[in-house]
Structure 1
Amino acid sequence: MPVPLLSSLAGPGAVDRADALTVAGQSLSREELLGAAGAVASRIAGAASVAVRADATAATVVAVVGGLLAGVPVVPLPPDAGPAEREHILRDSGAELVLGGGEDADVPVDPRERADFSAVAEDPKTTALILYTSGTTGAPKGALIPRGAVAAGLDGLAEAWQWTAEDTLVHGLPLFHVHGLVLGVLGALRTGCRLVHTGRPTPQAYAAAGGSLYFGVPTVWSRVVREPDAARELSGARLLVSGSAALPAPVFRDLERLTGQRPVERYGMTETLITVSARADGERLPGSVGLPLAGVRTRVVAESGAEIGELEVSGPTLFTGYLGRPEATAASYTDDGWFRTGDIAAIDPDGSHRIVGRASTDLIKSGGYRVGAGEVENALLDHPAVREAAVVGAPHEDLGQEIVAYVVADGVSEKALIDFVAGHLSVHKRPRRIRFLEALPRNAMGKPQKKLLPPL
């Protein structure tokens, strides 16, 4: 059973310091954070739930910790959400108040305020966060994340990454999702390590931060390796972690070449938090997201003879359901209680996991073969002229589906890229058609949005 989520905001072995937490240039000690969060908690105690305008500020961290102290579920609001999305989240979540540093907040949050507040008695089953999914299959759904799941997930990562109070964590990720908020803020508070949030995750900001542990998404790491001087400044770090989308193999290799170390990749989703990760003291290979965390079980459900199939998981890090959507919650689980991730994966003989895409968009059935789009995308990205790649299956009267690639590239022909992939993978995995674009559509986390690709 994990230690309660808020048993200690200083973490084991932590020494408080004036810049224990720095967000976009504003620093707080842990004592100051607790005092400011106490002022928030005293104002919202008893609310059913509260929303937090989750911009990259110290006020956001204060508001979230205030909600946790008061035992009130916190609903992070993306700061760039349009009126319709914002209204949907507020209405669907039932949030009674909006917290933030702006004038439009129902409860203003000022990191300079101080108040004592006795944290509520913790029940690991109660909801800590209501995190809204990306809405790729309809309106965003609110995933109920219990306090015990957050604690179990962070403790599992601390073990896997040898993450301690001696670390300085650096990242510049948004604070309305699992990666930036749960791992990147609550993880630092739980382990007791120093946190530096750079505001924007630029290569220069990462290079100047002097961290031992860095978090980034593939877009961040792609930009870092395009700035070799900045990348080399990270060579003193203990661990570089990539997540939220697959890290292209060429970026993996460039990070190793420029920093002297191989990045750690991990896997998870809003509903499960992080469930699988490479280890700080283990093997790290391009395309591999490693082994299940402590207490997590995984299995791949594949058709007879297939190497890949849908990944299903169970364990202490899972959500308790979608808010107000019992049918959707039930449909997300198998009859024997495993969560259907909707991701296509393979588990190697040594237990390492490889994620090859989403079942809805990335499992391509072509000519009797099952092909993972991610494998073809990585092969395309190995070509020196290709900067971005997204692979989909398009209807085909003979093959069922044909493999089609959208690429951002310079000075290379369609035939050259098709032949290149055929020379790296099995011939049946080559694209049949390639469309050249100026850029791929991506979301805030840098994930390609295949549903937004132009029609063929």
Structure 2
Amino acid sequence: MSPLSPALFPALAEAQADPDGPGSHRPALRFGDRSVTYGELAATASPLAARVAEAGRIAVWATPTLETAVAVVAALLAGVPAVPLNPKSGESELGHIVSDSAPTLVLAAPGTQLPPALAALERVDIDVDVAVDINVRGRGTASPDPGTLETPALIVYTSGTTGPPKGAVIPRRAIATTLDALADAWQWTGDDVLVHGLPLFHVHGLILGILGPLRRGGSVRHLGRFETAGVARELSEGATMLFGVPTMYHRIAETLPDDPALAKALARARLLVSGSAALPVHDHERIAQATGRRVIERYGMTETLMNTSVRADGEPRAGTVGVPLPGVELRLTEEDGTTAVEAYDGETVGEIQVRGPNLFTEYLNRPEATAAAFTEDGWFRTGDMAVRDPDGYVRIVGRKATDLIKSGGYKIGAGEIENALLEHPGVREAAVTGEPDADLGERIVAWIVPADPQSPPTVEELAGHVARRLAPHKRPRVVHHLDALPRNDMGKIMKRALTHD
């Protein structure tokens, strides 16, 4: 039997135990002009935890609001698994998630209109502003027993690119170990103030962006929706860290030449972190040139939380996701999924497999899928392809299913070609795929959003550009010009949607 879980949020537990102590007055969460201290968060979340303690599982309508953060904290205090729901999900997808996870309650902000797929669930409104006033008299309310380290904390549904979304069951153990490993890598303390505008139905925005600061005893300022003006304001007013995805940093890079206030604010930040997809080297360099600060990248996924990161005290090398976090084992394997790739040469491609306490427990109701995701000796098959540099830095070159191109006897990662294309002045956005070729096996196809639609770069021009930077066998043979690349809510390019007649 697992030991009883320690408090996920020591500062919150301290505020519960000593409502008049100095820690109770520390800022915890701020969304726009609405905020709560640790004492107010305890006074609000503790009664809600008691309310949902016997609920089995609860759904959370995960809008970017204070109510969502309070709902998830209450669920964690109660030891009840929370299922964050993406408000932009379609009716069919929501119906599948509700049917699969079978929550008994749905938590939402007052006045929120919920879709018909949630009509059968009992609704609990969370009015934080009223709750703070009412429950302040009940300060010190004890929370229910949160269970053990293996108690499910969250059930986060994957994107469903290969079928219906699967619910990854994330235990308290994975949250605690990941956030503590990141504290080590990023020198993250209670003095840090994080700013971000990420959605709260995904592990990046919710676990790293909300639960991360709370675990450290620090604070978070959520922008509601991402805007470069909001980033500049918060970093100028004491925020120390910024989390974002490549789409956000691309917008920052585009804005910087005409916004000296943004450049000055970013220069003040202690840490700029990007994740969820690779940040193009071109954007890395534009931000570094304008601010003197380099963005660092980390690598994780729903099932594993965080696996690697560039460390705060390490070299912020563009195009890499750094080294394995403390406690995480990482290996590259050949196509058979078992033979280890021993090379640290920056060229030999293998599939990333990881093992450690950061991993999920299972796919809910999917024992076959769970078994298929792991090797016999307990390594999780990520499906991501990478190379390792001589000093151990990991460089991801793409997904096994969509980004590994076998051309002319070579195994080629789409990611490095995309970065090379983005260095061309005529390319605004780029994606690379493979398509069948009778001679090569697969030929490399580039999908380009040109900087000037009236004068797009030719296939010959781009092929020569890539061949000079990488190698001739990595040059694109076909180029398609688009107005925009298809992306999901996290800014990832949806390559399965790239088709041509």
What is the TM-score normalised by the length of structure 2?
0.88
Q: Tell me, what secondary structure is at the counterpart of 2:106? A: strand
Matched residue, 1:265 = 297
Q: Tell me, what secondary structure is at the counterpart of 1:106? A: strand
Which residue, out of 16, 38, 41, partners 1:30?
38
| C-alpha distance after superposition, 1:312-354 (max 9, x if no partner) | 0000100001000000000001111100000001112211111
Q: Structure 1's 38 and 271: CA in aligned 2 closer, same or farther, altered over 3 A?
A: same
Unpaired runs of 5+ residues, structure 1, are none
Matched residue, 2:100 = 92
8 Å Cα contact 2:296-2:318 kept in structure 1: no
Give, as a single letter, the amino acid of the residue that structure 2 aligns with 1:4.
P
Mapping 1:152-191, distance limit 5 Å = 152-191=177-216
Q: Structure 1's 69 and 415: CA in aligned 2 closer, same or farther, altered over 3 A?
A: same
Matched residue, 1:130 = 155
Q: Structure 1's 121 and 437: CA in aligned 2 closer, same or farther, altered over 3 A?
A: closer
Report the aligned-residue RMSD.
1.9
8 Å Cα contact 1:143-1:270 kept in structure 2: yes
Q: Tell me, what secondary structure is at the counterpart of 2:496? A: helix
Structure 1 range deviating more: 97-106 or 237-246: 97-106
Q: Return the offset for 1:12.
A: 9.6
8 Å Cα contact 1:217-1:242 kept in structure 2: yes
| C-alpha distance after superposition, 1:167-223 (max 9, x if no partner) | 110000000011000000000100111210011111111000121111000000000
Mapping 1:135-146, distance limit 5 Å = 135-146=160-171
1:455 aligns with 2:500: yes
Runs of at least 4 residues of structure 1 off by over 6 A? 11-14
Matched residue, 2:28 = 20
- Once residues 398 and 445 of structure 1 are traced to their aligned partners in structure 2, the CA distance between those partners, rounded to angstroms, is 37
Mapping 1:209-220, distance limit 5 Å = 209-210=234-235, 211-220=239-248
Q: Return the offset for 1:15.
A: 4.1
Matched residue, 2:251 = 223
Q: Return the offset for 1:30.
A: 1.2
Q: Structure 1's 134 and 63: CA in aligned 2 closer, same or farther, altered over 3 A?
A: same
Which residue, out of 268, 277, 287, partners 1:236?
268
Q: Structure 1's 58 and 87: CA in aligned 2 closer, same or farther, altered over 3 A?
A: same
Which residue, out of 385, 389, 399, partners 1:358?
399
- Once residues 357 and 33 of structure 1 are traced to their aligned partners in structure 2, the CA distance between those partners, rounded to angstroms, is 41
1:52 aligns with 2:93: no
- Once residues 43 and 279 of structure 2 are traced to their aligned partners in structure 1, the CA distance between those partners, rounded to angstroms, is 39
Matched residue, 2:123 = 106
As a proportion of its length, which structure holds more helix? 2
- Once residues 491 and 11 of structure 2 are traced to their aligned partners in structure 1, the CA distance between those partners, rounded to angstroms, is 31
Matched residue, 1:296 = 328
Q: Tell me, what secondary structure is at the counterpart of 1:226? A: helix
1:433 aligns with 2:478: yes
8 Å Cα contact 1:17-1:30 kept in structure 2: yes
1:280 aligns with 2:308: no
Give, as a single letter, the amino acid of the residue that structure 1 aligns with 2:196.
H
8 Å Cα contact 1:142-1:322 kept in structure 2: yes
8 Å Cα contact 2:78-2:146 kept in structure 1: no
8 Å Cα contact 1:356-1:362 kept in structure 2: yes
- Once residues 242 and 347 of structure 1 are traced to their aligned partners in structure 2, the CA distance between those partners, rounded to angstroms, is 20
Give, as a single letter, the amino acid of the residue that structure 1 aligns with 2:38.
R
Q: Structure 1's 106 and 331: CA in aligned 2 closer, same or farther, altered over 3 A?
A: same
Q: Return the offset for 1:17.
A: 3.7
Q: Return the offset for 1:10.
A: 4.2
Which residue, out of 325, 331, 342, partners 2:366?
325
Matched residue, 1:311 = 352
Q: Return the offset for 1:25.
A: 2.7
Q: Structure 1's 108 and 192: CA in aligned 2 closer, same or farther, altered over 3 A?
A: same
- Once residues 142 and 122 of structure 1 are traced to their aligned partners in structure 2, the CA distance between those partners, rounded to angstroms, is 21
Matched residue, 2:119 = none
What is the TM-score normalised by the length of structure 1?
0.96
Give, as a single letter, the amino acid of the residue that structure 1 aligns with 2:393.
S
Q: Tell me, what secondary structure is at the counterpart of 2:308? A: strand
**Alignment: residue pair count:** 456
Matched residue, 2:217 = 192
- Once residues 103 and 267 of structure 2 are traced to their aligned partners in structure 1, the CA distance between those partners, rounded to angstroms, is 44
Identical amino acids, percent of aligned pairs: 52
Q: Structure 1's 419 and 40: CA in aligned 2 closer, same or farther, altered over 3 A?
A: same
Q: Tell me, what secondary structure is at the counterpart of 1:137? A: coil
- Once residues 473 and 180 of structure 2 are traced to their aligned partners in structure 1, the CA distance between those partners, rounded to angstroms, is 43
Structure 1 range deviating more: 227-236 or 275-284: 227-236
Which residue, out of 411, 418, 443, partners 1:377?
418
Q: Tell me, what secondary structure is at the counterpart of 2:10? A: coil
Larger Rg: 2
8 Å Cα contact 1:295-1:315 kept in structure 2: yes
Give, as a single letter, the amino acid of the residue that structure 2 aligns with 1:353.
V
| C-alpha distance after superposition, 1:133-175 (max 9, x if no partner) | 0000100000000001100000000010000011110000000
Q: Tell me, what secondary structure is at the counterpart of 2:73? A: helix
